[in-house]
Structure 1
Amino acid sequence: MPVTLLMGSLDEAALRAELARWGPYAEELAAIDDATVVRLGTGHWPQFSAPAALARALVEAFAEDAPREDAPA
């Protein structure tokens, strides 16, 4: 299952470095085969500080993971 992590200020390297200090959380992220980290460049509440950027990132994440019409059932 593809996973998209929308981060306010952390990029993927910073997220992984932070989680490495948290033990099991880093293991959970490492166990995901298809993880994409998207840095929004916002603070803790992007729905207030950058709602348009958050909305675009959500739409893009869902569009990437949506089943294609030509995919076998």
Structure 2
Amino acid sequence: MAHYVGKILKQRPNVILDTWGVAELLIAYGQYANEESYGNFLEWKSLSNETKRKVKKPREYAVLFYTTDDLAE
């Protein structure tokens, strides 16, 4: 996760691990991964039906965020 976030922010992963909290890293990773995943999903969605059958459908979101109400159910 630190490597992925560091690559996006152009920082060394060790700097992120030394200065960020775990919650910050998890949320940043989830946000950046979801942005990339959703972009890939929208690109797939805009393809023609014939091409869609040839390409595997990407996940809409890479990381799912749940509220405490969602977890209670």
TM range (shorter): 0.3 to 0.5
- Structure with the larger strand share: 1
Q: Which has the higher helix share?
A: 2
Report the TM-score when normalising by structure 2. Answer: 0.33
Query: Which structure has the higher relative contact order (CA within 8 Å, separation 6+)?
Result: 1
